[in-house]
């Protein structure tokens, strides 16, 4: 699904925060920025006035207005016409500067939205670029329970009936936090960063077979819910019998691999599900081990090094 955002949506979402006022070109509220546009253009989605490679949101500051004022009347009108001809989604004038009459006239004729803000240009640029990048970023939905375990974003996956929700309930009782159940949404906010959130319809809810839908916030309090978290680790609940054939080195390193999510390789640990296994403790241990590996601590390699050292000591020379 292609994500898009309109001028009206941008204004509604950022108008109060950036102190925007809509002065001209109300017909421009129907213009859209679609996902991927910033990949096909040399500049960013938002930038200071650029006539050669126009931004979708053009910011007009003090220097930009001075540039227009320095042009001869015919050249000035041609420049303004060229700006409007590129059909920017909006033009934002900074620091409450007065909008030139010819710029307002051209905006009304072309249906280009013109906003005025009391904020300086660099603040408008930074905030709007961040907002639009997130709004139009690639995203996907993954089946599983997304939780914060020891401050790490952990997605618990597995087949239907594997016990994901029961495991999440046990982790909640142990002080960890729920982000999303059943369908977590992940957005690529940086080349290697996946931000996970919960769909609005599923907010605060956890479905457990036999108990139905539970409201986690009401049962465990506000601290049991986390609004969003970066995805760092995937724990997959696998069948015990499927892992016997691959024991070997897995006895040392565990069953580890990676899963590609929006072109990002996410570490994946498979935990065999069997009678009597305390999955909550195993997930906590897997998360602690992941944190230690990130610090360069590898118990399996330590054991291998000790064994090699012992064999060298026993080898006759």
Tokens 């990130």 belong to residue: 294
Reading the block at residue 138, the tokens are: 């690639």
Give catalytic residues, as residue numbers: 143, 164, 182, 251
Question: 64 with 48: CB under 8 angstroms?
Answer: yes
Cα–Cα distance between 267 and 154 in angstroms, integer? 10
Cα–Cα distance between 218 and 204 in angstroms, integer? 8
Question: 168 with 156: CB under 8 angstroms?
Answer: yes
């Amino acid at each position: 699904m292609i994500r898009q955002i309109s001028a009206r949506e941008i204004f509604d979402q950022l108008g109060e925060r950036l102190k925007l006022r809509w002065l001209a070109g109300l017909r421009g509220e129907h213009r859209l920025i679609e996902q991927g546009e910033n990949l096909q253009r040399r500049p960013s989605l938002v930038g200071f006035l650029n006539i050669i490679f126009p931004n979708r949101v053009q910011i007009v500051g003090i220097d930009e207005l001075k540039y227009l004022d320095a042009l001869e009347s015919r050249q000035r009108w041609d420049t303004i016409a060229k700006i409007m001809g590129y059909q920017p989604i909006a033009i934002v004038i900074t620091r409450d500067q007065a909008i030139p009459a010819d710029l307002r006239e051209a905006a009304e004729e072309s249906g280009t939205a013109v906003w005025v803000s009391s904020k300086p240009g660099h603040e408008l640029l930074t905030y709007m670029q961040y907002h639009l990048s997130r709004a139009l970023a690639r995203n996907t939905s993954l089946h599983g329970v997304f939780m914060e375990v020891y401050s790490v974003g952990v997605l618990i996956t597995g087949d239907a009936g594997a016990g994901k929700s029961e495991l999440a309930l046990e982790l909640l009782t142990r002080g960890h936090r729920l982000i999303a159940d059943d369908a977590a949404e992940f957005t690529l906010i940086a080349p290697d960063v996946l931000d996970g959130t919960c769909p609005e319809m599923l907010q605060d809810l956890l479905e457990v077979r036999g108990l139905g839908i539970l409201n986690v916030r009401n049962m465990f309090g506000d601290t049991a819910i986390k609004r969003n978290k970066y995805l760092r680790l995937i724990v997959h609940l696998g069948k015990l019998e499927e892992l016997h054939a691959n024991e070997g080195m897995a006895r040392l390193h565990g069953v580890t691999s990676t899963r590609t999510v929006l072109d990002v390789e996410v570490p994946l640990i498979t935990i065999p599900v069997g009678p009597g296994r305390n999955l909550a403790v195993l997930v906590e241990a897997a998360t602690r081990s992941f944190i230690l590996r990130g610090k360069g601590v590898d118990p399996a390699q330590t054991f291998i090094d000790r064994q090699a050292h012992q064999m060298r000591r026993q080898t006759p020379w």
